Chains A and B, each alone.
Chain A
Amino acid sequence: MSDHSKSSPLPTYFAVFIALLIGTGLTVYAASLDLGPFNAPVALTIASIKATLVALFFMHVKGASEKLTKLVVIGALFFLLLLLGLTMTDYATRAWS
Chain B
Amino acid sequence: MLNNFPLWPEQASTTAPHVDALYIFLLIVTGMMTLLIFICLLYFAARFRYRPGVRAEQIEGSTPLEITWSTIPFVVFMVIFAWGAVVYFKERTPPDDSTEVYVVAKQWMWKLEHAEGQREINELHVPVGRDVKLIMTSQDVIHSFYIPAFRIKQDVLPGRYTVEWFRATKPGTYHLFCAEYCGTQHSGMVGDIVVMEPAQYEAWMNGGSTGPLSATGEKIFAELGCSTCHRTDTQGRGPNLQGVFGKPVQLEDGRTVTADENYVRECILDPGAKRVKGFQPIMPTFQGLVSEEQVNALVAYIKSISAAKPGDAAKTSASAAPSGIQKNAEPNGSQVQ
Contact = CB atoms under 8 A, between A and B. Distances in A.
Interface of A: 95-97
B92 A96 contact: yes
A67 to B, nearest CB: 27
B328 interface: no
B228 interface: no
8 contacts: A95-B257, A95-B258, A95-B260, A96-B92, A96-B93, A97-B93, A97-B258, A97-B260
Contacts of B257: 95
Interface of B: 92-93, 257-258, 260
Majority DSSP secondary structure for residues of B touching A: mixed
Nearest to A94: B262
Majority DSSP secondary structure for residues of A touching B: loop
A33 to B, nearest CB: 20
Contacts of B258: 95, 97
A1 B257 CA distance: 55
Contacts of A95: 257-258, 260
Nearest to B257: A95
Given A95-B257, A96-B93, A97-B260, 5 more contacts: A95-B258, A95-B260, A96-B92, A97-B93, A97-B258
A95 B258 CA distance: 9
A87 to B, nearest CB: 17
A5 B260 CA distance: 69
Contacts of A96: 92-93
Contacts of B93: 96-97
A28 B202 CA distance: 68
A54 to B, nearest CB: 36
A94 to B, nearest CB: 9
A80 to B, nearest CB: 27
A37 to B, nearest CB: 10
Nearest to A96: B92
Instruction: For the complex of A and B, list the 3 residue pairs with the smallest distance between their C-beta atoms, beginning with the closest.
Output: A97-B93, A96-B92, A95-B258
A96 to B, nearest CB: 7
A77 to B, nearest CB: 29
Nearest to A97: B93
A12 B93 CA distance: 61
Contacts of B92: 96
A97 B260 CA distance: 8
Nearest to A37: B254
Nearest to B163: A96
Contacts of B260: 95, 97
A96 B90 CA distance: 12
B85 to A, nearest CB: 14
A96 B92 CA distance: 9
Contacts of A97: 93, 258, 260
A53 to B, nearest CB: 35
A97 B93 CA distance: 7
Nearest to B94: A97
